[in-house]
């Protein structure tokens, strides 16, 4: 059974750094792209970027280029999304998803990130 | 970026009745490989999105056959033949022909 398990909810202050994770199981982690999707409170879905864990090839949506870093550790079948300096506007639910390229077929349960002073 | 426009943005349907959602893309989603990269997702309340339909009309594993997709080029439709209570949520179309993939605004389905 394909599963993507994300790390738990986070509460951070503006300016802090954060790295959230997404662990894949039940499939060959290095053979599928992983994508990250943002959903701001009460809003729709926005693609942030994708990574191919097999060779760490990474593509960012223009809106998120330079704002976040996507990485993966194939030895532990885990992808990451990180911020170096959070803003209040980063408050959102973040989903990882496996891509049956180019579209997500299996999704993680989501990680809620709250940034507040 | 390709813009995906869904209509209506909300609909209220009596159980057992059909429902239809339209999705229009600002560019053709037909790839030179012959595939059309249009997808439909449902996000039930409090849950992650789930894939319903891929490449316009193919149902994903486990998706009931009351869901069907159709269309070509830039115009697409998701139909539910007989709405059930468990179908409530927000439906999104998504294009995958150009990076970054883009979603429609979402259509909220409620039960009357």
Q: pLDDT of B18-65, one tens digit each?
A: 999 999 999 999 999 999 999 999 999 999 999 999 999 999 999 999
Mean local confidence (pLDDT), B57-81: 97
Mean local confidence (pLDDT), A57-86: 97
For residue A107, which residues of chain B lie inside 8 Å, CB to CB? 48-50
Nearest Cα of chain B lies from the Cα of A101 at a distance, in angstroms, of 8
Contact B101 A103 (CB under 8 A): yes
Number of other CB atoms surrounding residue B2 within 10 Å: 18
pLDDT (tens digit, 9 = 90+) per residue, A21-67?
A: 999 999 999 999 999 999 999 999 999 999 999 999 999 999 999 99
Residues 6+ apart with CB under 8 A from A43: none
Cα separation, A23 vs A29, in Å, equals 9
Of A44, A103, A105, Cβ closest to residue B105:
A44
For residue B60, which residues of chain A lie inside 8 Å, CB to CB? 105
Residue of B nearest to A60 (CA): B100
Cα separation, A22 vs A97, in Å, equals 9
Cα separation, A60 vs B110, in Å, equals 34
């Amino acid at each position: 059974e394909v599963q993507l398990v994300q790390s738990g909810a986070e509460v951070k202050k503006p300016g802090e750094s954060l790295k959230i994770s997404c662990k894949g199981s039940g499939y060959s982690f290095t053979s599928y792209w992983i994508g990250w999707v943002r959903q701001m409170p009460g809003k729709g879905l926005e693609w942030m970027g994708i990574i191919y864990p097999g060779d760490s090839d990474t593509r960012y949506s223009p809106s998120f280029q330079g704002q976040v870093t996507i990485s993966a550790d194939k030895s532990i079948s885990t992808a990451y999304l990180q911020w170096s300096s959070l803003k209040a506007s980063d408050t959102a639910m973040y989903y990882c998803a496996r891509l049956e390229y180019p579209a997500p077929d299996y999704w993680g349960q989501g990680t809620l990130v709250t940034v507040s002073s | 970026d390709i813009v995906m426009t869904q209509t209506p943005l909300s609909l209220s349907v009596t159980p057992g009745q059909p429902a239809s959602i339209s999705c229009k893309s600002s560019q053709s989603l037909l790839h030179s490989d012959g595939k059309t990269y249009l997808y439909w997702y449902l996000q039930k309340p409090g849950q992650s999105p789930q894939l319903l339909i891929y490449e316009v009309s193919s149902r994903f594993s486990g998706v009931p056959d009351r869901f069907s997709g159709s269309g070509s080029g830039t115009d697409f439709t998701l139909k539910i033949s007989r709405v059930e209570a468990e179908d409530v949520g927000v439906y999104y179309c998504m294009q995958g022909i150009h990076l970054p993939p883009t979603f429609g605004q979402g259509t909220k389905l409620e039960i009357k």
